[in-house]
Amino acid sequence: MEAVKWYRRAAEQGNAVAQHDLGFSCATGQGVAKDYVEGYKWLLLAAVRVESVKESMASVEGAMSREQIAEGQKLARGFKPRIESASDGENISVPEPFERSNAPRASGTGFFIAEDGFLITNEHVVKDAMHIRLLTREGLIPVRVVKVDSANDLALLKADGRFVPLPIAASRAVKLGGTVATVGFPNVGLQGFAPKLGKGEIASLSGAGDDARYFQISVPVQPGNSGGALVDERGNVVGIVSAKLNASAALAASGESPENVNYAVKSSFLLGFLESVPEVSAELKEPNTKERKFEDVVKSAEQAAVLVLVY
């Protein structure tokens, strides 16, 4: 009980190790009444910076209902660290720069393309990163950049472990109006850490200014979706979600704000990029050729999707 008291005081001030220890104590009832929701909240907060939290999170999630997990995520989103006055222990708000000093400076989405941990995201997501981590089902894991293609906004990363990859199909077979979808992690600070589905159509076979490297898509895209897989109705990757039409530029040019005008790099450019890395291109899955239920397509995309945290 004495240990939990000190864990809590440090955790409320934003100490990630203490948040992990307090979360584990709450979830297991050690020194405090068992509370899965409270424990999960602290584990989520710790997961951003403490890699060892993955084992605790997995065991706790297995004992929780979906409603409890959602409540824990809600509490984590509302958390604000505090510091204590040295004189009387009074809690005061943390200044904004201090509060964010150890937080990721950016986030995006990635997707696995090989079972042994090769994955793809946008180059602009990981540009100038000091280090990068992935938030997976197993917890937080480090990742390294293998190669980038700045011209086409592509980055190949490598994580250690075994994962569920997606097959990549050539984008030349994609038709105008074809149904496409993406699973990603938009606005995690507001919308939470759970993967989000977006579904739409191929709105154009070229991007802004008729750029042939891109599709225009009607799939809803938010900050954090960048780097996510754009999959067709058979679950093949046909693009990589990359950008939105710049609202300021569109307003200045036309006097109107754009509505749901988004872009994805075509998969044919991704395949060309991967040809320069033989050990990866040799591992790629063969594209799916049979019709599939949309629910199965979404499940595959969700299993391959990962949150990319950049520091």
Q: Which residues are catalytic?
A: 124, 153, 226
Residue 91 zone, left/alpha/beta (φ > 0; ψ -120 to 50; rest): beta
- The neighbour count for residue 25, using CB atoms within 10 Å, is 22
| Cβ(47)–Cβ(60) below 8 Å | no
* Cα end-to-end span (Å), the chain: 35
Q: Is the dihedral of CA 200, 205, 211, 215 positive or negative?
A: positive
Cα separation, 185 vs 172, whole angstroms: 27
**Distance from chain centroid for Cα 255:** 34
d(CA 297, CA 227): 18
What's the gap between Cα 118 and its chain centre? 15
Q: What is the dihedral angle through the alpha carbons of 109, 112, 113, 114, rounded to the nearest 10 degrees? A: 160
3-state secondary structure of 144: strand
Number of neighbouring beta carbons within 10 Å of residue 15: 20
